[in-house]
Structures are given as structure tokens and as C-alpha cells.
Amino acid sequence: ETGVTQTPRHLVMGMTNKKSLKCEQHLGHNAMYWYKQSAKKPLELMFVYSLEERVENNSVPSRFSPECPNSSHLFLHLHTLQPEDSALYLCASSPVVEQGAKLFFGSGTQLSVL
Amino acid sequence: LAKTTQPISMDSYEGQEVNITCSHNNIATNDYITWYQQFPSQGPRFIIQGYKTKVTNEVASLFIPADRKSSTLSLPRVSLSDTAVYYCLSGSSNTGKLIFGQGTTLQVKP
């Protein structure tokens, strides 16, 4: 148990569906992150939030829309996805966004786009 | 951002010491070196972090030479449950852009 909870653990959706991934951290951290991990590829940073403000948007397609309503919750809204978006989506948090910050990851949502 | 290079895979046997070396030739003066462990279908887990010389915790040791252009993660007496992917990371900008490489897949055999 890392203190970072992601739901759902598995999600299957069609290309025309709209779904949301949820992440909640119980660590009192101020920074939250979304990473994407495709099969046999390194983790790719998608978004970084610090105190509910987006500080990094790593050239992610607009079909992925993040939302951070408070420092404990992070969402990733999905719409009109492509099969190549199938991957493990990981949420992480850290005390602050800074050099050497230790990341705490959730278990991820395994997404399959049909 | 400093790029890291590490072996793609390593094999070991139970009870052996495993050393995984990571190269980070362009490391900046204020960059830390951090290692994570990842099991299949789970998020990475922090193992150890250091800046220079040697750091040891209950899980591993991290050796960093004086020039800091490389580092070595040492896992004492590995078991089958240490089979995982190990990531070496170096540096991050103030925006939290921490870059994961492809990692080293460690396979521990009985």
C-alpha cells in the first residue's frame, strides 16, 4: 500500500466512449502526476500538477484531459481514444515538485481501447 | 535533463549479490540519482536515492564515484521476489519532469 489509490484497475472502452480515470492520494502531498506505460516501453510522463496547477504538459493529445480539483485528487478524462492508447496508466504523487522528489505510485489502470 | 543508460537485462541466482550499473555522463551539479523497482502490472516503487559516495538502506546500497558519471545499485543476496525491472533516474527540472529510461529487467533464478 503506497497511499496512492487508482480506480478502476482495469478498463475496456470503445473508441467512441468517454471514461475517466481517478487517482487519490492520502499522503498529504502537493504534487501529482500522470504517466503512461505501453507494453515493453518506458514510462512516459503525461502531466504534472503542483497545488492543483498544471506545471507540465508533455505534448499529450487533446483526447486526454487531466483535472486536479484539489491536491488529493487527480482525474484523467478520456474521449475518442485510439487502440494505440491501450496501456497502463499510472498516477503518482510527491511532497512537492522539486529536484530529487520521491514519487509514490499507484497500481495503475490497465486500459484497453477496442 | 540527464539521460541514463543501463543494461537491458541481467540474470542472477538466489542468494547472490547483484550489481546494476547506470551511466549518466551528463549529470548536473544539483542532480540526484534515484532507483525504482517495478513489478508487472504495478507502479514503480522507490528503492534508494543518493548524491555522492555511498548510501545504504534496508533494501539496497548505492555506490556513486567521485565524478558522479555513473552509479551502481547493489542488491545483497537476491531472492526470486527480486525479479523485477529496475530504473535508474538522474535529475529533474523544477517542473517535475522525471524521465524513466527502459530500465534493467533482473531475472532471479532458483
A66-87 pLDDT tens trace: 999 999 999 999 999 999 999 9
Q: What's residue B93's pLDDT?
A: 54
Strands B53-56 and A64-70: unpaired
Q: Give bridge partners of residue B18 from the DSSP assignment.
A: B75
What is the β-pairing status of strands B61-64 and A87-94?
unpaired
The answer, yes or no, to whether residue A100 has pLDDT greater than 80, is no
What 3-state class would DSSP assign to A42? coil
Q: Give yes or no for a contact between B70 and B62, defined as CB atoms under 8 angstroms apart.
A: no
Calculate how close chain B gets to A63, using CA atoms only, in Å: 21
Picking from A2, A10, A43 by the largest number of B CB atoms within 10 A of its own CB, the best residue to mutate is A43
Q: Give the one of B46, B87, B101 whose C-beta lies nearest to A102's C-beta.
A: B46
In Å, how far is B18's CA from the nearest CA of chain A? 22
C-alpha cell of residue A36: 503512461
Q: How many CA atoms lie within 13 A of B16 on its CB side?
A: 15
Instruction: Output the DSSP codes for chain B.
Output: ----B--SEEEEETT--EEEEEE-TT--TT--EEEEEE-TTS--EEEEEESSEEEE-SS-EEEE-TT-SEEEEEESS--GGG-EEEEEEE---TT--PPP---EEEEEE-
In this complex, the residue of B42, B94, B100 whose CB is nearest that of residue A98 is B94
Nearest C-alpha of chain B: how many angstroms from A64?
Answer: 18
Chain centroid to Cα A26, Å, comes to: 16
Confidence of residue A59 (pLDDT cuts 50, 70, 90): confident
Tens digit of each residue's pLDDT (9 = 90 or more) over B44-74: 999 999 999 999 999 999 999 999 999 999 9
Q: ∠ at Cα A109 (A107, A110), nearest 5°? A: 115
pLDDT band at A64 (very low <50, low <70, confident <90, very high): very high
Kindly indicate the confidence band of residue B9, based on its pLDDT and cuts at 50, 70 and 90: very high
Cα of first residue to Cα of last residue in chain A, in angstroms, is 31
Q: How far, in whole angstroms, is CA B27 from its chain's centroid?
A: 15
pLDDT of residue B96: 60
From chain B, the residues in CB contact with A4 under 8 A are 43
Nearest CA in chain B to A43: B100
Tell me what pLDDT residue B4 has.
Answer: 86
Residue whose C-alpha cell reads 514519487 in the numeric block: A103
